[in-house]
Amino acid sequence: MANNTEAIEALAAEIGENIYIDVAKWHLYLSDAHLHTVLAERLYPLLLNNALNEDEVLATLRNIPVKLGGGRTELPLLDLLPVQCQVNLLDLLEDYQQKL
């Protein structure tokens, strides 16, 4: 990758197309929810520093608030991702790290 910005954008695109939140069995992909870029920006340093592990990824997901109901309530992104999406995200990140 030419620079960090391009790498983060590429990572965000991968996340946005493959990872979704589940609301009443409705899948809202992170790109549609405008959450893919912020997640990529927070996860990218883990990839660069070879600090990628499940606990760090889950902590990152836990620390990204998602506003619901026009901001009346807020949940961590972690609480909105199905377990399979969490696994898929870890796999995606591991694959992406190998490309760096």
pLDDT at 5: 92
- The region that residue 23 occupies, defined by phi over 0 for left and psi between -120 and 50 for alpha, beta otherwise, is beta
Structurally, how many domains does the chain consist of? 1
65: left (phi over 0), alpha (psi -120 to 50) or beta: beta
Q: Which domain holds residue 65?
A: 4-99
For the chain (100 residues), the mean pLDDT of every run of 10, in chain order, is: 84 98 96 98 94 95 96 97 97 93
CA nearest to 28, candidates 72, 65, 93, 77: 77
Q: Find how far residue 94's CA is from the centre of its chain.
A: 13
Q: What is the pLDDT of residue 2?
A: 54
- Let me know: does 7 contact 44? Beta carbons within 8 Å: yes
**pLDDT at res. 100:** 82
